[in-house]
Amino acid sequence: MKILVINGPNLNMLGKRPKEHYGVLTLDEINSLMLKNASNDTELRFYQSNYEGDIVTKIQESLSSIDGIIINPAAYTHTSVAIHDALEMFSGPIIEVHLSEVDSREDFRKVNFIRSVSTKTFAGKKEQSYIEALKYIEDILRK
């Protein structure tokens, strides 16, 4: 099974961002942790961009070549109808991930354009959110 893991803006700066929200691991370390926790039949493809249009293009290019998406849209969670619309075209499971508990943070973070097209959301457990999302999507894709 092929799973695309998409990370949005500023996630390339993990390890330098406020640790109380984002933990201490870098994005490369989170990706390595996911690889270690992936099943033998899982192929993970990682993509990070600070640009909304690039994320939209990556989703569009992957519509017929992957089985599932794990996405941490980061700040675009709260602003991007374009990412929502691109994800809406994908027919497989879409798992939304956040390192922090975005629903309990600032009021502007309570707006979420991604949730309505997501199969499930994992949030608030730092890197463990990614691991739980991975196990969940693997289970779905095996059925």
Handedness of CA 132, 140, 10, 36 (dihedral sign): positive
Spelled out in words, what is the top-level CATH class assigned to the domain 2-142? Answer: alpha beta
Closest-CA residue to 37 (of 132, 116, 113): 132
**What are phi and psi for residue 99, nearest 5 degrees?**
-70, -40
Q: What residue ranges in the chain does DSSP mark as E strands? A: 2-7, 43-48, 68-72, 94-98, 120-123
In whole angstroms, give the CA distance from residue 52 to residue 72.
12
Q: Which of 87-91, 99-103, 129-133 has the lowest mean pLDDT?
A: 99-103
Q: What is the mean pLDDT of residues 95-116?
A: 86
Q: Which of 54-68, 85-99, 106-120 has the lowest mean pLDDT?
A: 106-120
Q: From residue 57, give the alpha-carbon distance in Å to each of 10, 61, 62, 95.
A: 18, 6, 9, 18
Give catalytic residues, as residue numbers.
22, 98
Residues 115-142: tens digit of each pLDDT = 999 999 999 999 999 999 999 999 999 9
User: What are the sequence ranges of the domains in the chain?
Assistant: 2-142
pLDDT over 90 at 86, yes or no = yes
Q: From residue 129, give the alpha-carbon distance in Å to each of 71, 97, 143.
A: 11, 6, 22
Q: What is the pLDDT of residue 118?
A: 98
Residues 21-69: tens digit of each pLDDT = 787 899 999 999 999 999 999 999 999 999 999 999 999 999 999 999 9
